[in-house]
Chain A
Amino acid sequence: MASSGVALAEPIVLPRRLNWRKVASLTRSYLALAFYLFIAVFPLIWMLMTSLKDDADLVDATVSPFWFHKPLAFNHYVYLFTRTSFVQWLQNTFLIAGLTLAITLAVCIPGAYALARLDFFGAEKLGVGIFMTYLVPPILLFLPLSRLVAGGLHLGNNKLALVLVYPTFTIPFCMWLLMGFFKRVPRELEEAALVDGCNRWQAVCRVVLPLTMAGILTVAIFAFTLAMQDFLYALTFTSSSSEKPLTVGVPTELIRGDVFFWGELMTAALVAGIPVAILYNFFLDYFIEGITGSVK
């Protein structure tokens, strides 16, 4: 009985004070999280609502814009998929981003490894130099690049021009990022692999790459999204609807002078954003580990 009395007394007195503090603390945390969640999710909700609103509802200034005042309208989706080349632009975007990603990784993995590990003369300065090229803004580069790509290589109005151009900004950034990941791998692990009979190639493939997978995935996501979101180069090097990526195709056909097709614009942004969001979600753990963690 006594023991049960003690057991009863504990949750009645002490935990109450502790719970109160805990509740207050949790409330603060959740409020802060809710605030950031709202900021993060609001654009998506707004896009979704706009994509489903009737045009008359969109411009009615007498009602709250935060809810629907007419029946849901799917005409923006129908218009986007049946009366524009949206699917073609989506395909172009993924093709361009995918090829850019492949080129970026093919160049950056050996390049960054060499700069981080092989200790040749000037490696560090070369690494910094490569990163510095990333800092040159596209607005300065698109004219000379157009002379080279459209004038010299005759790749004007060709989506492959973008596959050629995008690595000029994905490689410097990703190379610099990957160098950091490779430097985190202890040399001793690689040396142990060499001692155990691996050659350099095998040591990289069997030891270094698996240990830097989080970094490589982080770089892959960066490269993919950088290639997906470019506008200026896409405008410079593509003009036919069949060659345009989303970033140029959508505003071209849905912004007509001073008439913006808001419903269709938001639909396009939403539909194009979903695959990227899913991609991020799949690799979220790796991504967080890549940008925050180290080799375990």
Chain B
Amino acid sequence: MVDNSLTRRQMLRLGALGVVGAVLAACGGTAPAASPAASKPAGSAAPATSAAASGKPAASPSSSAKPSAGAASLQGAQLRVLAWSHFVPAYDKFFDQFVKDWGDKNGVKASVDHITNTDIPGRAAAEVAAKAGHDLIGFNGVGQLQRRFKSSLVELDDVVQYAVNKLGKVFRFGEAYNHFDDHWYGFPEFYIAIVPLVRNDLFQSVGEDPAKVTTWDDYRRVGQKLKPKGNPGGFAISHCNDSQHNWQSIMYSFGANWVKDDGKTSNIDTPEMREALQWMTGFYKDALTPEVFAWDDTSDNRWLASGQGGYIHDAISSYRSIESSNKELFEKISIQPIVKGPKAALNRPDTNNMIVWNFAPKQNQEAAKEFLKFYTDQMPTVLLKESLGYNMPMFDSLFKKPMTVLGPDPKLAALQDYKGDDLTTIGFPGPPTTEAINFESNYVFSDMVGIAVRGNSKDAIGDAIKFGQEQFAKFYPK
């Protein structure tokens, strides 16, 4: 009789082999997949006026994604893109398909992953540490880490030159983020205009013509009238991005800056800065309410959407959200030109710049560059249209009036003048150095505004300046 039973030792050996096999099989098989969400009909907070939202192939990504000149050398390459989750879900759907179609035509396995914009810096740091990850990443908002990760970036001189030849020169602020040490380390994809969104009906109810409200003093005067009626303005003074770009736009328009144009020397303790902080204190008292100290990036959107907010200063995402959720309110809201200060009319927008990792396989780097060239070709037709006027170009020739989407719409027409040297960077007038990004991302200037406007001491402005100086020494080490 044959004994078919296993000894305990044999059983353990078999079990161990089985576990090792299962783990190896599991670890080896997961290829980067295109987002299933992207293949589903994404809903949108924005209205279905765009081709992307309505499902029409407006830009016909499939048909326009012709093989590029270097397509033969790209065969078998991969292109993994990491992008932020766009506020228009339909734009993500469009862009995912746009990238995939280009990849299909060029023999490149191309896909797009999306994460929240504030999480991109952490993810990028992990990829640099691992020397592995995506090939092409969109650095968004305050996460402009081109200088921080310079040693891990591919020089994109040829790609940007191609784009400049096609689309005209890059705006000053786009160049400041991406061009340094004689090379282009980022591709200026788009910027997000930060605009006054005002309630025409409320302005008119206090005898103000929105078209004639053009300066920060005008907005303060209107706020003085609207606040007693329960319709104050909405400017966050807190640790959020809205707080940063709003108060910095005011600061720059008053001729004040936290750093000189060398990007190293403090410019905080100046008469201009004191004047700006003094004005901000008055503006807060006249036009805002204490709840702004607790606001996040969505609060001003909700404030305007609630029907109570008199005006806010932000991206057009809130405007588009209201368009889809409250048509009646939407009709009462208008977008105004860049607000003028006593010294200038300067605006601090957010930007999205694309970089390519130099630790990505060479073939993937080439695929990324070829894709950026293809994207450049399509930019005039897809950028504004698919994003509902949200993705503003950073190339001069794309601002010929009437611009796509913006020109024909009287409510958006003002956006056509958000261009050129009126737009500034983090750390303006110096370059957006790593120190400037750190100063920004630690909300130092927002805290200075908070200290000044709360007025907890007789010399609150002085306290704010002192705090700013201390933090400057910390973030801009000599």
Contacts and interface: CB of A to CB of B under 8 A. Distances in A.
B51 interface: no
Given A252-B114, A252-B116, A259-B317, A83 B43 contact: yes
Interface stretch (B120-128, B152-160, B175-183, B214-222): B120-128
B115 A239 contact: yes
Interface string A235-257: 11001111100001001110111
| Chain B interface size range | 35 or more
Contacts of B326: 56
Given A62-B306, A235-B119, A257-B86, A240 B113 contact: yes
Nearest to A63: B306
A260 interface: yes
Contacts of A236: 122-123, 126
A149 B129 CA distance: 11
A155 B87 CA distance: 30
A240 B34 contact: yes
B117 interface: yes
Contacts of A61: 303, 306-308
Interface in A134-176: 142-144, 146-147, 149-151, 153-160
Contact of B129 (A56, A147, A243): A147
Contact of A151 (B26, B82, B132): B132
B54 to A, nearest CB: 15
Q: From DSSP, what is the main secondary structure of chain B's interface residues?
A: mixed
B33 interface: yes
Contact of B132 (A62, A150, A242): A150
A84 interface: yes
A144 B129 contact: yes
Interface string A208-247: 0000000000000000000000001001100111110000
6 contacts: A61-B308, A235-B122, A241-B113, A242-B36, A257-B87, A258-B297
Interface of A: 55-56, 59-62, 79, 82-85, 88, 142-144, 146-147, 149-151, 153-160, 232, 235-236, 239-243, 248, 251-253, 255-261
Minimum-distance CB pairs A-B, first 10: A241-B35, A150-B130, A151-B130, A239-B113, A61-B306, A146-B126, A258-B297, A257-B87, A143-B129, A146-B130
Given A147-B131, A239-B115, 15 more contacts: A60-B307, A150-B133, A151-B129, A151-B131, A156-B133, A160-B26, A235-B122, A240-B111, A241-B37, A248-B115, A251-B116, A252-B116, A258-B242, A258-B298, A258-B301
Interface of B: 26-27, 30, 32-38, 40-43, 45, 82, 84-89, 111, 113-117, 119, 122-123, 125-127, 129-134, 192, 241-242, 297-298, 301-303, 305-308, 314-315, 317-318, 321, 325-326
